Structure 1
């Protein structure tokens, strides 16, 4: 039976956004089809039964791209089905998750799964932000017991003016920032920003602009859900044996001193925690589960950390609220890499390595809009030993992909253009030890490593993570968030930028969100922390090295007539392959005639460049060349004077004296100096040796 179709529409940035429910995916708890321009997607929410014996909210969000949405078939000749989601799709899912997760009550343990499937995509309307709106609408229709709905918009800034959901093909290219603002009716709950050195004031105005637009979208979601008959799901809070809980709490208070660990490092503190938990488990074995006991212990630890900060103004490591942990910075640690750096802040340590390659090594990305390339790549690795644990080692987890993307976003505006620096650049951050803010450590390490490699970045970038502990009336902002403060606190507010402005922001909250006034305060304190860290970095290396590593490939570039590209490549790639093989280089030719030649030896680069210049050069009468005799005929000799270009030295142009037989003067393989004396209307080149004798140019 077909359900009644319910629609709501709104004008958003000059285009119509329509949310529709009732037709598609009727067995989902809530489903919404969203249409924006010719971009169409389906968001479904399913809320199932509660799960026992878990101490977390089991929410999963999947953002699924379909190549058919862009009218494409997968390029692989063997596999046509979409496979592992690309990193960008994973990042979209994470972004939506970060906007939704904090709005659920802590004791809600029902499985919730949201799937956003892109069905159609046009060139102008980004589906990811519409996916957030549709997911929120589906969840609200499903009767989620949350403090939503939430909505999100993308905010750009072109020539000082703020715009909502910039058009991908035009406005986005000229926008100074790419900001996603997710908010409820009252507060901002998630931020994601990439920017070209915007000021804190510009960022705040952008957030306010996006927040106000979200209010309209939230009203539309509420109207749609009301028409669809939204009924809030009722759930039971698990029964708790209060007497047993009191006994566990008393045992913990009497046998474990939370304050005793304040002066100890993370490894020692964790070891003592684990040892005590074993004692706790033995004491109450058979009376409740280990997960319940761990939950009680962690809640008490969290409450004590918050109490110390709010009531005593004290942090676990006795730092001031605006104080950065001790810093250690070093560069050029690894002799054979192209650039390397170690950045350590407290117990968080990042080893970052830069590798340079030819532009032919750019990453090729297959998306719904076709193929794209990327020449600056940052990868972030978080091995289990960084937290003193064992665990799975293999393909990157979603968190690693997200942290790598944030560090990449922070440095990307500072990377020189391909014309200025014709290299593919890969940066890898190895997190060797982690106690909070490892993503910002990788930002700082990236700057140091890039400068050590000699990459002429426009300006150095540093990053800092800010925390918050709030009781509703009192807000304490923490500079340089450490691990347990992150666990006990209400937000993780990461800001990266240069001394002149912000290049990246990522904000997650665990409470009901942040007011604009509080965001303003956080930005001010983050700037001070960022500049402090920057000063420490600049004392070690304050500018990119003027010389690349001796082990880095060298690159020379030249420009040729695009009509000559075919001559350089040759039939079936014969010519370019021969040049690369003979000179031990890699040659890449772009459609506009730009040629990049990379190799280790300068001699090989010079030879390859000379041969390409020879192939593409247009000979002119009067030019003089060193040539090689290729063929002898009765009436003269054919001489190659440029790679692939031959001309005829007529028998009468070989010598001042009479020449009876060409072989009396020339043979195949002879090196001769020649002058172009004529190019006929068919492009045939006539050469002369005799003319140079008369000029006194040759021996």
Structure 2
């Protein structure tokens, strides 16, 4: 007999179904979720014993995309799923950020949440479903967790906010917002927008919260029906003597250390206090060094929050809505296509723009979406260890780097010109050289400056800022442009990016519980004021794209050819197009619709390539004149190549005004010959004439090159005629008066 139980509710006009007790029954909690024909299996497992070697909560969230879910076979040679795609990594981060803050603070047991995408209907995205299913799996499990949470997607389509819009409808949406929250408020926000006003965002968050409450109630009913008793987690050790000593004897020093403006000096001062505390207890509590450090950290947090709430001061001396000092530099690097250095306080980003060629440099996406177009704009973020003064091995980008890059890319993307307007592939790389908070928003600002320096015609500047929150009971402080200390010990990290006209991206992680509409309104209004100040500073350095591209950037020219002629340009096995590339040194990309991009280092090379392509795709018309080349000789005439792959017959009767006994008397294979297209018969055969041009040259549109050739050709024709007559022993008759 099956233990399966099903639970169903309606949201966004679609049935949401959770099933448990049938699949993955050895996990602590497992839920098979379905929304439309999109299905996800989410499992949650926990180690029985806590790890003793960590000072953090060891949560791992994996998001597994199975290509069979979309009826696809993976590309490449291996033909099986490998490392997670960027979409999978970003989806895993969405789940992680939605659930992490609700685990007990002292919990050190390893927890592993795995979301496996089993089918995708191309209508309902699986990542939103995964957040809800992860919450349900944790809720019904025996894993300690203060959930549930719910998640929805919000679009803004035709002036109306829509919950969980279909993928096809999102093509016309100016807002794409993912919101997760619990019974007390929003915990996570991730989204992009096309310069949407702040009041629309507030309404979207409130609408999302209403639906989230319904999802939470739904999961609580499920918990009541099938939920397990939660496991007991050992309480953290407490040594009152250590806490009392630190508070009584060292809190004053901690308070003063927190007020040190410079990050390194402040960190060194706090480390010295930790060492003093440890030296005091080393003999009495030799096994509690980590605990001593933890107690000092707790009082650092208390001091930082007290400084803000009680004295209205921040650790670096700024007012609540004051920006750190900002400097902007453009054209910083030689040879690159565009570069900028954006420095805000102790956060610094070197941002470089590179322009590339369509087809060759665009990013091909091999994911669960069908017919997903390649990316022509990419923003990549790097966070080397030296940016925070650390020593560690440098590997590939981690989840944090990919997430920060995606956020910055989302913020800048609405300003990127269309492919028709600017036919380049655009890659922006942000290397963080120094970090003390909000490096992703520094990347947004640096990207805007770098793109303008490269001459990319973005419509306007875009900037980003990170907001913070300190909330204790009814006391609330909203902080503009937070630094690392305020991010780490604060209750909210709210990143907002946009132009002067609206928001283009936002991201929020909240640990404070309920956030009221008033707090959101104030935070967004304060963020807007800060963003406008940053834009003023940026625009003072560069306010519009450079008129000329860098001399080191490729020049891309566009032409359209008949799609039926593409094969003529490519040639058998690519022989023809390779010949053009080798001869001219250009790069060529031809789209299925015949749109052709030519990237060249010089205008002359581009025009030469375009001329060769035109000759391959041009149709021969009656009356047109060509300087062709003899390819074959026959008894009845010569075959002349007019264009690559296009030949016509110059009949012996059309060679000259005088009698021509043998074509070989006038031509040999390879000779140039000036001809006019006399006619194209019903079978498509091209008939040519040389005689007509010799007799009446002014009747034809001849280029200077053709006229010069004609003069020499007429002399040659007269000479050949004279020689032929001489060989026959005849002389021209004298003219009669």
TM range (shorter): over 0.9
Alpha-carbon separation, structure 2, partners of 1:391 and 1:152: 36
Backbone CA RMSD of aligned residues: 1.8
CA deviations 1:109-156 (Å, max 9, x no partner) are 332221111111111111000000100101110144433211001111
Residue 440 of structure 1 corresponds to 441
Alpha-carbon separation, structure 1, partners of 2:349 and 2:323: 16
SS of residue matched to 1:359: coil
Please say which of residues 602-611 and 458-467 is displaced more in the overlay. 602-611
Alpha-carbon separation, structure 2, partners of 1:662 and 1:420: 53
Q: Shift of the alpha carbon at 1:418?
A: 1.3
Alpha-carbon separation, structure 1, partners of 2:666 and 2:278: 101
1:475-486 → structure 2 map (5 Å cutoff): 475-486=476-487
Residue 256 of structure 2 corresponds to 259
Alpha-carbon separation, structure 1, partners of 2:218 and 2:332: 56
Q: Kindly indicate whether residue 190 of structure 2 is the aligned counterpart of residue 201 of structure 1.
A: no
Alpha-carbon separation, structure 2, partners of 1:663 and 1:294: 101
Q: Shift of the alpha carbon at 1:278?
A: 4.1
Please say which of residues 182-191 and 471-480 is displaced more in the overlay. 182-191
CA deviations 1:483-526 (Å, max 9, x no partner) are 11111111110000111111100001122242232112111111
Residue 431 of structure 1 corresponds to 432
Distance 1:674-1:76 versus aligned 2 partners, 3 A rule: same
Q: Kindly indicate whether residue 474 of structure 2 is the aligned counterpart of residue 473 of structure 1.
A: yes
Q: Kindly indicate whether residue 92 of structure 2 is the aligned counterpart of residue 90 of structure 1.
A: no
Alpha-carbon separation, structure 1, partners of 2:310 and 2:177: 36
Residue 192 of structure 1 corresponds to 190
Residue 526 of structure 2 corresponds to 525
Alpha-carbon separation, structure 2, partners of 1:275 and 1:665: 100
Q: Shift of the alpha carbon at 1:202?
A: 1.2
1:14-25 → structure 2 map (5 Å cutoff): 14-25=13-24
Alpha-carbon separation, structure 2, partners of 1:123 and 1:67: 13
Please say which of residues 473-482 and 222-231 is displaced more in the overlay. 222-231
Q: Kindly indicate whether residue 29 of structure 2 is the aligned counterpart of residue 27 of structure 1.
A: no
1:105-124 → structure 2 map (5 Å cutoff): 105-124=104-123
Distance 1:657-1:47 versus aligned 2 partners, 3 A rule: same
Q: Shift of the alpha carbon at 1:242?
A: 0.9
Note if contact 1:125-1:167 (Cα within 8 Å) is conserved in structure 2: yes
CA deviations 1:588-636 (Å, max 9, x no partner) are 1111111111122222211111111111122211122332333333332
Q: Shift of the alpha carbon at 1:263?
A: 4.6
1:39-58 → structure 2 map (5 Å cutoff): 39-49=38-48, 50-52=50-52, 54-58=54-58
SS of residue matched to 2:532: helix
Question: What stretches of structure 2 of length at least 5 have no aligned partner?
Answer: 701-706, 711-737
Note if contact 2:258-2:300 (Cα within 8 Å) is conserved in structure 1: no
Residue 37 of structure 1 corresponds to 36
Normalising by structure 2, report the TM-score: 0.91
Note if contact 2:452-2:545 (Cα within 8 Å) is conserved in structure 1: yes
CA deviations 1:532-577 (Å, max 9, x no partner) are 1011101111111111111111111111111111221122222112
Q: Shift of the alpha carbon at 1:280?
A: 4.0
CA deviations 1:62-87 (Å, max 9, x no partner) are 1111112112222223x122111011
Residue 103 of structure 1 corresponds to 102
Q: Shift of the alpha carbon at 1:11?
A: 2.1
Residue 544 of structure 2 corresponds to 543
Note if contact 2:622-2:678 (Cα within 8 Å) is conserved in structure 1: yes
Alpha-carbon separation, structure 1, partners of 2:6 and 2:154: 26
Distance 1:664-1:523 versus aligned 2 partners, 3 A rule: same
Residue 299 of structure 1 corresponds to 298
Distance 1:250-1:635 versus aligned 2 partners, 3 A rule: farther
CA deviations 1:645-675 (Å, max 9, x no partner) are 2222222222223233334433333333332
Residue 316 of structure 1 corresponds to 315
1:7-406 → structure 2 map (5 Å cutoff): 7-49=6-48, 50-52=50-52, 54-77=54-77, 79-168=78-167, 170-253=168-251, 256-260=253-257, 262-285=259-282, 287=285, 288-360=287-359, 361-370=361-370, 372=372, 373-406=374-407
Note if contact 2:254-2:299 (Cα within 8 Å) is conserved in structure 1: no
Alpha-carbon separation, structure 1, partners of 2:510 and 2:102: 9
Q: Shift of the alpha carbon at 1:264?
A: 4.2
Note if contact 2:585-2:600 (Cα within 8 Å) is conserved in structure 1: yes
Alpha-carbon separation, structure 2, partners of 1:562 and 1:687: 28
SS of residue matched to 1:378: strand
Distance 1:277-1:657 versus aligned 2 partners, 3 A rule: farther
Note if contact 2:675-2:690 (Cα within 8 Å) is conserved in structure 1: yes
Alpha-carbon separation, structure 2, partners of 1:644 and 1:217: 67
Alpha-carbon separation, structure 1, partners of 2:134 and 2:51: 22
Alpha-carbon separation, structure 1, partners of 2:546 and 2:675: 45
Q: Shift of the alpha carbon at 1:48?
A: 2.8
Note if contact 1:155-1:206 (Cα within 8 Å) is conserved in structure 2: yes
Q: Shift of the alpha carbon at 1:276?
A: 4.5
SS of residue matched to 1:128: helix
Query: Which of the pair has the greater relative contact order for Cα pairs under 8 Å at 6+ separation?
Result: 1
Q: Shift of the alpha carbon at 1:40?
A: 1.0
Q: Kindly indicate whether residue 481 of structure 2 is the aligned counterpart of residue 502 of structure 1.
A: no
Alpha-carbon separation, structure 1, partners of 2:270 and 2:673: 85
Please say which of residues 154-163 and 53-62 is displaced more in the overlay. 53-62
Note if contact 2:15-2:36 (Cα within 8 Å) is conserved in structure 1: yes
Q: Shift of the alpha carbon at 1:175?
A: 1.1
Q: Shift of the alpha carbon at 1:248?
A: 4.1
Q: Shift of the alpha carbon at 1:257?
A: 4.8
Q: Shift of the alpha carbon at 1:328?
A: 0.5
Normalising by structure 1, report the TM-score: 0.96
Q: Shift of the alpha carbon at 1:36?
A: 1.3
1:498-647 → structure 2 map (5 Å cutoff): 498-647=499-648
Alpha-carbon separation, structure 1, partners of 2:254 and 2:180: 40
Alpha-carbon separation, structure 2, partners of 1:27 and 1:366: 32
Note if contact 2:258-2:304 (Cα within 8 Å) is conserved in structure 1: no
Please say which of residues 625-634 and 83-92 is displaced more in the overlay. 625-634
Structure (1 or 2) with the larger CA radius of gyration: 2
Alpha-carbon separation, structure 1, partners of 2:441 and 2:486: 16
Distance 1:626-1:515 versus aligned 2 partners, 3 A rule: farther
Q: Shift of the alpha carbon at 1:327?
A: 0.6
Note if contact 1:638-1:646 (Cα within 8 Å) is conserved in structure 2: yes
Q: Shift of the alpha carbon at 1:368?
A: 2.1
Distance 1:239-1:278 versus aligned 2 partners, 3 A rule: closer
Alpha-carbon separation, structure 2, partners of 1:201 and 1:261: 36
Alpha-carbon separation, structure 2, partners of 1:83 and 1:200: 40
Please say which of residues 97-106 and 669-678 is displaced more in the overlay. 669-678
